[in-house]
């Protein structure tokens, strides 16, 4: 007859096997499940308020919250993505036809350099203008081809995208409606003390909300400001460059300066002093101030994670998980810090 200990070990082994198998089944749609969960966490406070307003009718509250999510987040993002792809294809056509040549811009910069700087570059072996120019042109063409290929892939995978989008909305509805029940069951299953579970769950939800709302708000504002200034200065592809600045703004301490700073330097070196000075002042005093003021308020204050940890975890998350990593990375870092805090406090209590 099997002993209770053997039965328990057998059950734990079965639990691990079926859990791993379930995660393996979900892997093809991990992005869909992930963003449904993130949106459910973000819109949970709104859902709770609506639940009170509609007299605890869970289906109606979840459906209303889902409609709010569609109108506020998903539809605007879809329209922006479509416009961005269209402009990206336009830039690709201009690069391929030679109307837009980054190698020519580089040659103009080198010709405008003062003699002492040109001599310094020559001593450093960086004076091969033709080689660098050709490399820049090839890189720009490859980048634009990548944009065009991605646009083609999206067009070819429209059906797959619609299916994933539908699954996300479907899952989001049930996560909103049954979120409290699911959270309670997860709490019961985790073999930790009630205080530790509350601490970890609170840290998880706080970091998700702060990272998504804060980083996206900062990125959207910086990208919009940068794109507007580029449009004002007559720089072609303002929407595309604004979107790139918004994407780079997800990285704290790096940000949109990787785009506007080289453009400002180009203006200054080619004699367009007014445009260059205007762009520098706007970039430092307006775009940079948004990052310095809003990010600590919307992200750092709530997460209580050092900026350098946020930066490294965001970069690592982006490398490992793609665009999803700008949320996954800081969340893992926050849980890491919270878990070690719990471990340290437990050890101190035992001493």
pLDDT value for 143: 53
Which run of H or of E encompasses 17? helix 4-26
pLDDT of residue 138: 56
Mean pLDDT of 215-223: 82
pLDDT in tens, 52-72: 888 888 889 889 999 988 888
Q: How far is Cα 351 from Cα 343, in angstroms, rounded to an integer? A: 13
Contact 214, 295 (CB under 8 A): yes
Whether residue 302 contacts residue 330, with contact meaning beta carbons closer than 8 Å, is answered with no
Q: How confident is the model at residue 85 (pLDDT cuts 50, 70, 90)?
A: low
In angstroms, the CA 316 to CA 11 distance is: 36
> Running DSSP on this structure, what letter comes out for residue 237?
-
Neighbours of 191 (CB within 10 A): 6
> Does pLDDT of 191 surpass 60?
yes
**pTM of the full structure:** 0.67
The predicted-structure confidence for 133-167, as pLDDT tens digits, reads as follows 555 455 555 555 555 555 555 555 566 777 888 88
């Amino acid at each position: 007859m099997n002993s209770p200990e053997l039965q328990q070990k057998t059950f734990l082994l079965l639990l691990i096997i079926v859990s791993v198998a379930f995660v393996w089944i979900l892997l093809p749609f991990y992005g869909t499940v992930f963003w449904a969960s993130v949106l459910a966490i973000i819109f949970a406070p709104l859902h709770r308020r609506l639940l009170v307003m509609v007299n605890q009718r869970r289906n109606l509250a979840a459906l209303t919250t889902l409609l709010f999510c569609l109108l506020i987040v998903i539809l605007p993002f879809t329209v922006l993505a479509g416009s961005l792809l269209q402009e990206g294809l336009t830039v690709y056509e201009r690069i391929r036809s030679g109307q837009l040549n980054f190698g020519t811009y580089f040659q103009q910069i080198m010709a405008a350099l003062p003699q002492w700087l040109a001599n310094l570059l020559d001593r450093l072996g960086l004076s091969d203008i033709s080689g660098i120019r050709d490399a820049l042109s090839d890189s720009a063409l490859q980048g634009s081809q990548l944009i065009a290929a991605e646009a083609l892939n999206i067009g070819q995978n429209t059906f797959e995208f619609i299916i994933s989008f539908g699954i996300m909305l479907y899952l989001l509805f049930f996560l909103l409606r049954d979120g409290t029940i699911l959270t309670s069951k997860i709490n019961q299953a985790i073999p930790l003390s009630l205080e530790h579970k509350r601490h970890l769950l609170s840290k998880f939800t706080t970091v998700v909300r702060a990272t998504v709302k804060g980083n996206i708000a900062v990125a959207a504002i910086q990208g919009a400001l940068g794109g507007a200034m580029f449009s004002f200065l007559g720089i072609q592809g303002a929407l595309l460059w604004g979107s790139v600045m918004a994407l780079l703004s997800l990285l704290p301490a790096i940000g949109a300066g990787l785009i506007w700073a080289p453009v400002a330097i180009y203006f200054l070196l080619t004699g367009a002093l007014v445009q260059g000075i205007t762009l520098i002042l706007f970039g430092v005093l307006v775009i940079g101030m948004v990052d310095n003021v809003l990010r600590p308020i919307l992200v750092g204050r709530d997460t209580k994670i050092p900026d350098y940890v946020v930066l490294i975890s965001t970069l690592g998350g982006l490398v490992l998980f793609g665009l999803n990593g700008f949320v996954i990375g800081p969340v893992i870092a926050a849980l890491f810090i919270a878990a070690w805090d719990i471990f340290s406090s437990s050890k101190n209590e035992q001493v």
